[in-house]
Structure 1
Amino acid sequence: MSDLEIRRTRRTDIPAIVAMLAHDPLGEQRESPDDLTPYEEAFDRLEQDPNQHLIVAVRAGRVVGTMQLTIIPGLSRKGATRSLIEAVRVHDDERGNGLGTRLMEWAIEESRRLDCQLVQLTSDASRTDAHRFYTRLGFTASHVGFKMAL
């Protein structure tokens, strides 16, 4: 893994990220890699928000993983700051090599560095492999999540 770089996303990384987001049963229903305009607009919003950390993992000049870390200040838990991990993806040909673990370790360490007291994430109910992965990393399934499409 010494040849792996984890860094902030650049605009030029967007096509590779969107391709990874679209390359699974859930993503193929909700992503549109043929039109990058909405992703570029979202990237611009993310870049302007200091609490958003869109990250890529790069090996040999190729984007092979991505994730988003959001820092959320709050009043609950005695004013605790928490981080939220979302959109974790690893390219198919990189799975099983520890890259997902490296991305998660980066997110946890960055959360500590930013004085977060809690790291949280959600995972679609159908992603049972991901649930086992998060459990192995020390996360516990502690809540039931709800979403509403607007």
Structure 2
Amino acid sequence: MTDVQIDPLEAVTAEDAEALAGLMRQLSSHAPPLAQANFARIIAGSSTTMFVARINGRIVGTATMVLIEVASGSRVSIEDVVVDESQRGTGIGDALMRVAVAAARAQGAGKVDLTSNPSRQAAHRLYLRLGFKKRQTDVFRLELDAEEDRKTLA
């Protein structure tokens, strides 16, 4: 693996924000454009840790860990796992996931969940190799900005 450093993002520079926005575009064509202030707000959350992988100081990957404390037990959701296209297959995704899982364990989480687009087969192989199991579940979503949903729930 290339000489990569993985750490929690504690402050967001303009250069970091640009790199992260580029990664989000690689993750999803539907990702909203985010600015430095958006990323700063994300990392300010007490339950959220955004890990970044850097090579020579430049962000080339990220994974966000969200600790969820509920009555049925604490768990972690890992979100927005993405490695720059130019660095895929080099072990950075594996390293990011191992750091995030270790952090979840250190925070006392009982389980780690993540979702992944069915088209991301390489990511699926990584998750299975790391011990994740595919769950038989349905995911439900309510788009809060959709006009039809506002009418239904009004």
TM-score, normalized by length of structure 1?
0.83
How many pairs does the alignment contain? Answer: 140
* Largest Rg, 1 or 2: 2
Once the two structures are aligned, what percentage of the paired residues are identical? 34
**Preserved contact between residue 2 and residue 90 of structure 2 (Cα < 8 Å):** no
Output the amino acid matched with 2:7.
Answer: R
2:57 corresponds to which of 52, 58, 61: 61
Q: What is residue 94 of structure 1 aligned with on the other side?
A: 87
Which shifted more, 132-141 or 106-115? 132-141
2:99 aligned counterpart, secondary structure:
helix
- Give, in whole Å, the separation in 2 of the partners of 1:5 and 1:47: 18
Note the alpha carbon deviations across 1:31-79, whole angstroms, 9 max, x for none.
33xxx4xx43432332332111011111111111011100011111xxx
Note the alpha carbon deviations across 1:69-128, whole angstroms, 9 max, x for none.
00011111xxx2111100001011111111100000001100111111101111123333
Output the amino acid matched with 1:126.
Answer: S
RMSD (CA atoms) = 1.8
- Give, in whole Å, the separation in 2 of the partners of 1:96 and 1:19: 18
1:145 corresponds to which of 123, 136, 139: 139
**Preserved contact between residue 122 and residue 145 of structure 1 (Cα < 8 Å):** no
Q: What is residue 75 of structure 2 aligned with on the other side?
A: 82
Runs of 4 or more consecutive aligned structure 1 residues displaced over 6 Å after TM superposition: none
Q: What is residue 19 of structure 2 aligned with on the other side?
A: 16
TM-score, normalized by length of structure 2?
0.81
